[in-house]
Amino acid sequence: MKTVDVLATILIVVGGLNWGLWGIFRFDLVADIFGGNTAVLSRIVYTLVGVAAAYRALGWTSVQHRLSPAKP
């Protein structure tokens, strides 16, 4: 399960950086690397980023439990 968490986090970081580049410079790095925003590989990356975000969002309560201090 830890591997999935790491991959999800990496994909979310990639998505966040891509959105930051788009917001500041209007530059889509994923589209530039994979041949446009409608290219199959770009759409796969966008989909994986979305799935990773949904996975992390659905697992947020377990993260909160792990981060909360232990009760006496």
- Mention every residue, 6+ apart, whose C-beta is less than 8 A from residue 33: 42
The residue that leads in pLDDT, 28 or 69, is: 28
Q: Which residue type is seen at 4?
A: V
- For position 63, what pLDDT does the model report? 62
The token duo for 13 is: 């970081």
- Average pLDDT over every residue of 51-65: 83
- For position 69, what pLDDT does the model report? 72
Whole-number average pLDDT of the chain? 90
- Statement: residue 70 has pLDDT above 80: no
Burial readout 40-65 (b: 16 or more C-beta within 10 A, e: otherwise): eebeebbeebeebeebeeeeeeeeee
- For position 67, what pLDDT does the model report? 66
